[in-house]
Amino acid sequence: MTHPRLARPQWWHDAVVYQIYPRSFADAHGDGLGDIPGITSRVGYLSALGVDAVWLSPFYPSQLADGGYDVDDYRDVDPRLGSLEEFDEMVAALHAAGIGVIVDLVPNHSSNRHAWFRAALAASPGSPERARYLFRDGADGGALPPNDWESLFGGSAWTPAGDGQWYLHLFAPEQPDLNWDNPEVRADFEHTLRFWSDRGVDGFRIDVAHGLVKNLAEPWPPQKEMEDWPRPDGSHPLWDRDELMNVYRSWRRVFDSYDPPRFAVAEAAVHPSRRARYASPETLGQAFNFAMQEADWRPDDFHRVIDAALSDVADTGSSTTWLLGCHDSPRVASRYGLPLIPEPRVFADLKGERPFRHDSQWLARQWLLTDGRAPEVDLPLGRRRARAAVLVEFALPGCTYVYQGDELGLPEVADLPREVLQDPMAGRSTREKGRDGCRVPLPWASDRHALGGNSFGFGSDGAHLPQPDWFGDFAVDVQEADPTSSLAMYRQALELRASLTATPPGEFEWVAGPSGLLHFRRGAWHCLTNFTDEPLPRPEGEVLLCSAPEGAAGGVPANATVWLRSE
């Protein structure tokens, strides 16, 4: 029987979804790699945290050329992570706790070890095997790539097949792009959607949802022109083509053939004006909005991002998605500890109306690029602001995604030695450190040797990415014993949020206040955030929660959020 929480139609509209990066969450097998039984063993933790669903990054068989986003077989579990039976047990345990399961689908590319790609390489040019991917004849009699397009991970987007043809990969060479004009590819992915839906998964996160369908008609625009992105009109040959929606409309028929209907969230890095197409109830249902993750610690930035996100979804019948971090970006606690540049570098979108990238995001990237030598990161301040920011998200209408470890206020591990880096982005240029700093296995215990291992309770062995000594200070057991910890605040906030939204709260409204304060309300539930370094006065009312350990007796503390009940 479906748990009542998940039986609600469109339960995901206002869900809190916890992102699990399976290889770094919990290791039950004791081999240094997180796994499916590890997740099952931590259902109690997820339940106590109060999340509505988990999204699992890929757990499929993979050589890990891109952290599992290079899939060898879409309908199996990597044997190092478990088995299909263990997957079923995990789903049953999560469902029994009222927690939904969202799995990551990677349809833009398979891995080069997928049976189809092996067959394609073994077959000859023009064969049906090659027609599942995007092979083209090389230039100069096959000696050179067909054109100058570059992969998003650096280097040419083409790799030679060895017989004069080259295949397209917008990411790593181990990630050949599939040919979505081929009906066989379309049918196979519908099969995969049914395979996991039949096993009880509640939804899908669609990787690179704006890719898939491409127009490779010649003449090919040069790389320089390809960099004109995002576009408001679907005119790019590789990204956000109008034809994509035919694929998603047909997936919708699959989703709606289940009770309750399955849902999907698009990872679509598109022009804001195009996001609604992915979030429509006729296509995927929801689309990530990354603007909050890119907003700096400034009230105006938050105000703008919130207004834009709420107006974007107003007509779609969807709900917006708030998120501060994921497995692709520097940890929020570190990011908010970076200095703000007085003249923010705002890259406006094409209409020039919406913020696209702000300065601390830009700085954080520089920080990764410069071998982890951070420009003055004030970590206590960053962690304090991260706590304040997540209370803003939890108070807003819509769905919030929380990246594993952010509930602990974990900082970025910025100084991982080069030789341990796993991300394909690392090493493709001389300075790029890549995304491993936010993917280090979680510390569950302050004792490095808990469970007889060397991984702060992650498992009974080591950790596949090395954890620094200071990881123990952030461990779950330390935070469970401290009522002022980040974890304790998350638990309290989610419990309160559940009760405050049990009956729909009033309409979202901005409330005017002193400079430096962001204040909105939903009926009697007020959310006030102080972006300055001094306390600010607050209205009368019952303090429900304060992100700062010192509490809200003296007003809204500096760099903090207060939830207030006031008529």
Residue ranges that bind ligand NOJ, judged by CB under 6 A: 66-67, 69, 106, 171, 207-208, 267, 327-328
- CB of residue 561 vs ligand NOJ: minimum separation in angstroms? 28
Q: Which amino acid makes up residue 30?
A: G
Residue number of the CB atom closest to ligand NOJ: 69
Q: How many residues in the chain?
A: 567
- Choice between 207 and 359, CB closer to ligand NOJ: 207
Question: Is 228 buried (19+), middle (13-18) or exposed (0-12) by CB count in 10 A?
Answer: exposed
14 closest CA partner among 276, 393, 406, 389 = 393
- Choice between 52 and 66, CB closer to ligand NOJ: 66
Residue owning tokens 């995901």: 12
SS3 of residue 435 by DSSP = coil
How far apart are alpha carbons 147 and 149 in whole angstroms? 6
- CB of residue 530 vs ligand NOJ: minimum separation in angstroms? 33
- CB of residue 270 vs ligand NOJ: minimum separation in angstroms? 14
- Choice between 74 and 490, CB closer to ligand NOJ: 74
Check if the beta carbon of residue 485 is closer than 8 Å to that of residue 479.
yes
- CB of residue 267 vs ligand NOJ: minimum separation in angstroms? 6
133 closest CA partner among 173, 66, 171, 182 = 182
- CB of residue 154 vs ligand NOJ: minimum separation in angstroms? 12
How far apart are alpha carbons 467 and 483 in whole angstroms? 25
Contact partners, residue 155, CB within 8 Å, separation at least 6: 173, 428
Would you give the end-to-end CA distance of the chain in angstroms? Answer: 40
- CB of residue 327 vs ligand NOJ: minimum separation in angstroms? 6
- Choice between 404 and 529, CB closer to ligand NOJ: 404
322 closest CA partner among 298, 288, 299, 351 = 288
- CB of residue 241 vs ligand NOJ: minimum separation in angstroms? 18
User: Parallel, antiparallel, or unpaired: how do β-strands 100-105 and 53-56 relate?
Assistant: parallel
- Choice between 11 and 322, CB closer to ligand NOJ: 322
- CB of residue 207 vs ligand NOJ: minimum separation in angstroms? 5
- Choice between 208 and 276, CB closer to ligand NOJ: 208
- Choice between 138 and 424, CB closer to ligand NOJ: 424
Check if the beta carbon of residue 20 is closer than 8 Å to that of residue 404.
yes
SS3 of residue 538 by DSSP = coil
How far apart are alpha carbons 59 and 61 in whole angstroms? 7
- Choice between 202 and 267, CB closer to ligand NOJ: 267
- CB of residue 208 vs ligand NOJ: minimum separation in angstroms? 5
Residue owning tokens 């990969």: 169
- Choice between 25 and 297, CB closer to ligand NOJ: 25
The dihedral formed by the CA atoms of 199, 205, 209 and 212, expressed in degrees to the nearest 10:
-30
CA distances from 239 to 132, 186, 456, 518, 527 (A): 19, 18, 42, 36, 38
- Choice between 190 and 328, CB closer to ligand NOJ: 328
- CB of residue 170 vs ligand NOJ: minimum separation in angstroms? 8
